[in-house]
Amino acid sequence: MDVFKVSGNGPLHGRIQVSGAKNAALPILAATLLTDEPVRLRNVPDLSDMRSMLEILRHVGAETTQPESGTWEIRAENISHIAPYELVRKMRASVCLLGPLVARLGKAEVSIPGGCVIGPRPIDLHIKGLKKLNCQVEIANGYIYVDASDIRGGPIFLGGRSGSTVTGTANIVMAAVLAPGTTRLECAACEPEVVDLCRMLVKMGARIEGIGSPELTITGVEKLHGCEHSVIADRIEAGTFVIAGAITRGDVTVTGIAPQLLGAFLDKLEEAGLPMELGEDSIRVLPYEASLRPLDVITLPHPGYPTDLQAQLSALMTQTEGLSIITERIYPNRFMHVPELQRMGADIAIEGPSAIIKGASKLSGAPVMASDLRASAALILAAFAADGDTWIQRIYHLDRGYERFEQKLSAIGAKIERLSDTEMPKELLGE
Ligand code: EPU
**What is 255-306 written as a DSSP string?**
ES--GGGGHHHHHHHHHHT--EEE-SSEEEE---SSPPPP-EEEB-STTSB-
331 in the same domain as 209: no
What's the angle, vertex CA 193, arms to CA 187 and CA 196, rounded to 5? 100
387 in the same domain as 414: yes
Q: Are 377 and 400 in contact (CB under 8 A)?
A: no
For ligand 1, atom 18, the nearest C-alpha belongs to 165
Which SS3 state, helix, strand or coil, does residue 370 take? coil
| 334 CA → ligand 1 middle, Å | 12
Pocket of ligand 1 (CB under 6 A): 23, 26, 93, 120-126, 160-162, 165-168, 307-308, 330-331, 373-374, 401
| 199 CA → ligand 1 middle, Å | 21
- Span between the terminal Cα atoms of the chain, in Å: 11
13 in the same domain as 54: no
Helix (H) or strand (E) holding 50: helix 48-60
Q: Tell me, what's the pLDDT at 115?
A: 66
Neighbours of 114 (CB within 10 A): 12
Exactly one of 96, 116, 187, 227 is catalytic; which is it?
Answer: 116
* Ligand 1 probe mutation, 166, 169, 196, most atoms within 8 A of CB: 166
- 136 - beta bridge partners? 147
Q: Tell me, what's the pLDDT at 332?
A: 84
pLDDT means per 10 residues, the chain with 431 residues, are 94 98 98 98 96 96 98 97 88 93 97 78 94 97 95 97 95 98 98 98 98 98 98 98 98 98 98 98 97 98 98 98 97 94 98 96 96 96 97 94 97 97 80 62
For ligand 1, atom 37, the nearest C-alpha belongs to 166
Q: Tell me, what's the pLDDT at 431?
A: 62
Which SS3 state, helix, strand or coil, does residue 49 take? helix
Q: Which atom of ligand 1 is nearest to the CA of 23?
A: 39
The full length of the chain comes to 431
Residue 51 is part of a domain; what is its CATH number?
3.65.10.10
Instruction: For residues 396 and 377, give the distance between their C-alpha atoms in angstroms, rounded to a whole number.
Output: 12
Q: Which atom of ligand 1 is nearest to the CA of 125?
A: 8
Backbone dihedral angles phi then psi of residue 266, each to the nearest 5 degrees = -70, -35
409 in the same domain as 369: yes
Q: Tell me, what's the pLDDT at 426?
A: 77
The residue among 206, 269, 382, 109 whose CA lies nearest residue 185 is 206
For ligand 1, atom 39, the nearest C-alpha belongs to 23
Conformation bin of residue 270: beta by default, left when phi > 0, alpha when psi is -120 to 50 = alpha
280 in the same domain as 224: no
Q: Are 275 and 288 in contact (CB under 8 A)?
A: yes
For 378-413, the DSSP string reads HHHHHHHHSBSEEEEE-THHHHTT-TTHHHHHHTTT
Q: Tell me, what's the pLDDT at 85?
A: 86
- Judge whether 198 counts as a catalytic residue: no
Which of residues 192, 207, 230 is at a domain's end?
A: 230
User: Residue 67, preceding bond cis, omega within 30 degrees?
Assistant: no
Hey, what amino acid is at 333?
N
Which of residues 205, 230, 255 is at a domain's end?
A: 230
Which of residues 182, 214, 230 is at a domain's end?
A: 230
For ligand 1, atom 28, the nearest C-alpha belongs to 308
